[in-house]
Structure 1
Amino acid sequence: MTAKIALQLYSLRKEIEKDLEGTLKQVAEMGFKYVQVDGMRGNDMYEFANLLKKYELEVVGLHIKHDRFFNDLDGILEEAYVFNCKVLYDKYIEDEDQTTDGYIKTKEALIEAASKLSTLGFSIGLHCPEYDYNNTINGRKVMQYITDPVNGIGIYAEPDTYWMSIAGHDPLKEMHYFSGRMPIVHMKDCITSLDPNDFENNLVACGDGDVDFKAIIDFGKEHGVEYFCIEQDYSKIGMFNSIERSLNHLKTLL
């Protein structure tokens, strides 16, 4: 299949707060056609959506704050229609729900959302940091537990190469479990020899660390990945510089 490169706009959260249009214009000029949206960052939702259209940036995924899946499904639906996007991710399970009861409650909420919205063509998924690749519930790792189907209803995984690495796993091996149910993969590089908690130094542009992106892309294209999505939480060389380095590296591997 033909996979595409996208950008998670969380990477540019500070820039979007200061200058939404200028930031989106620069993203388009870098060559991106596809983005994920992670919150409005103080901007009007309709203005945000109109500017994305102006710069011909298609939204291929929405990251939604965890608690909204419990108390704001109608608001999520409205946002999804405004951005013309039917792929919705719980951005991460909040700390207060990092318990057995919280995981059970989270899965129930996501399954309920999927059951209600799937008839409208929506897909629901989970993105997570490192602990959800190691914490367990009922003998299952959290990410596996959440994405295990219930009565034919499944939750998509959104594997993140950085967080899988920080969790001490080979991202490629971890992705095998989610074969066929991971339409988007977050592409973030990691220097694994550094302290796992040293986020500002161990997270680098794609190609500058230890993640084997060639193997991940080759596997992903054969197992249902539609978008390889660059995300950069921190940067010592400037966020746009890091994003451009990642983009240029991944383009050589597609």
Structure 2
Amino acid sequence: MAWQDKIAIQLYSVRKEMERDLEGTLKKISELGVRYVQLDGMRGNDPERVASALRKYNLKVIGMHIKHERFSNDLDGIIREAYLFDCKTIYDKYIEEEDQHTAGYVKTKQTLIDAALKLAPLGFRIGLHNPEYDFTTLVEGRMLMDYITDPVSGISIYAEPDTYWISASNVDPVEYVKRYSGRAPIIHMKDFLPGFEITDMAHNLTEIGSGTVDFKAIIEWGNEHGVEYYCIEQDQSKLDMFDSLAQSLTALKAYF
């Protein structure tokens, strides 16, 4: 299996670069050798221009992060963007602070289920990105991500596990992802250095291969259980971001 068929880059990593120079940024991403990216907003660019630049540099969108409130108030807009970028795998990127309570989580689940009921017949997959509060929050006796992704009337919300946040919460990411066999088409690959506060991302987030996450085991499991893409995301780095991504990519490629 060629690594080019399985590794993607989350463009949130280069959000600042996209704001300054869209085409130059996507050109550099393409020059890393990757074929697949995940979108996280337009970063001040016209969506048509973003779609055109992605085509120019032969980058295919395999997932889209969508702002939380849009699932409630802009489903038609989400559909238009999905067709523009030829991508029907869409994730609620982050449950906003005002909804980070039991009633908000219950509402979020119903909103995502409603969206899935409407969009699944069109071939869409609706999911939730896994942040840190998953592991400190119980809803109806279930850990938050488990609660959100539990099926309702045959409809299940997909999970997007994030190895950094899982690790930062003192949970083993290799064991955690196993609960999502067939239900996690994309995993966010981010390394973690223990010994710092959970909020100290400047120190505990590191390039792949420099921390403690067992990416080899995750990939071995994922290849047998429906993971389609392993998506590198680097929220921040002490390195130049393209150097950071190149370092993580080199480490990850060794497992294919």
Instruction: Please give the range of the TM-score, normalised by the shorter of the 2 chains.
Output: over 0.9
Q: What amino acid does structure 2 have at the position aligned with 1:222?
A: E
Tell me the distance in 1 between the aligned counterparts of 2:186 and 2:194: 23
Which of residues 191, 195, 198 in structure 1 aligns to 2:197? 195
Across the two proteins, how many residue pairs are aligned to each other?
254
SS of 2:180 mapped into structure 1: coil
Tell me the distance in 1 between the aligned counterparts of 2:118 and 2:47: 24
Q: How does 1:213-224 map to 2 (within 5 A)?
A: 213-224=215-226
Tell me the distance in 2 between the aligned counterparts of 1:93 and 1:166: 18
SS of 1:236 mapped into structure 2: coil
Is residue 6–residue 32 contact of structure 1 (8 Å, CA) maintained in 2? yes
Question: Cα deviations across residues 37-67 of structure 1 (Å, max 9, x unaligned)?
Answer: 0000000000000100010000000000000
Q: Equivalent residue for 1:135?
A: 137
Q: Offset of 1:195 from its aligned partner? A: 2.2
Q: Equivalent residue for 2:160?
A: 158
Tell me the distance in 2 between the aligned counterparts of 1:157 and 1:193: 27
Tell me the distance in 2 between the aligned counterparts of 1:9 and 1:133: 25
Question: Gaps (5+ residues) in structure 2?
Answer: none
Q: Offset of 1:134 from its aligned partner? A: 2.8
Q: Offset of 1:205 from its aligned partner? A: 0.6
Q: How does 1:199-210 map to 2 (within 5 A)?
A: 199-210=201-212
Question: Gaps (5+ residues) in structure 1?
Answer: none
Q: How does 1:158-177 map to 2 (within 5 A)?
A: 158-177=160-179
Task: Report whether the alignment pairs 1:97 with 2:99.
Answer: yes
Q: Equivalent residue for 2:81?
A: 79
Q: What amino acid does structure 1 have at the position aligned with 2:88?
A: K
Give TM-score, length-normalised by structure 1. 0.98
Tell me the distance in 2 between the aligned counterparts of 1:19 and 1:39: 15
Q: What amino acid does structure 1 have at the position aligned with 2:60?
A: E
Q: How does 1:23-102 map to 2 (within 5 A)?
A: 23-102=25-104
Which stretch of structure 1 is more off in the superposition, 193-202 or 207-216? 193-202
Question: Cα deviations across residues 121-178 of structure 1 (Å, max 9, x unaligned)?
Answer: 0000000211113311000000000000000001000000000001110001111111
Is residue 93–residue 128 contact of structure 1 (8 Å, CA) maintained in 2? no
Tell me the distance in 1 between the aligned counterparts of 2:139 and 2:66: 23
Tell me the distance in 2 between the aligned counterparts of 1:119 and 1:95: 31
Which of residues 8, 14, 27 in structure 2 aligns to 1:6? 8
Tell me the distance in 2 between the aligned counterparts of 1:185 and 1:134: 21
Q: Offset of 1:89 from its aligned partner? A: 0.3
Give TM-score, length-normalised by structure 2. 0.97
Tell me the distance in 2 between the aligned counterparts of 1:133 and 1:240: 31
Percent sequence identity over aligned pairs: 60
Q: What amino acid does structure 2 have at the position aligned with 1:66?
A: H
Q: What amino acid does structure 2 have at the position aligned with 1:111?
A: I
Question: Cα deviations across residues 186-210 of structure 1 (Å, max 9, x unaligned)?
Answer: 0000002222221011101100001
Is residue 59–residue 85 contact of structure 1 (8 Å, CA) maintained in 2? yes
Question: Cα deviations across residues 78-135 of structure 1 (Å, max 9, x unaligned)?
Answer: 0000000000000011111111100010000000000000000000000021111331
The ranges of structure 1 where at least 4 consecutive aligned residues each deviate by more than 6 angstroms after the TM superposition are none
Is residue 156–residue 182 contact of structure 1 (8 Å, CA) maintained in 2? yes
SS of 1:88 mapped into structure 2: strand
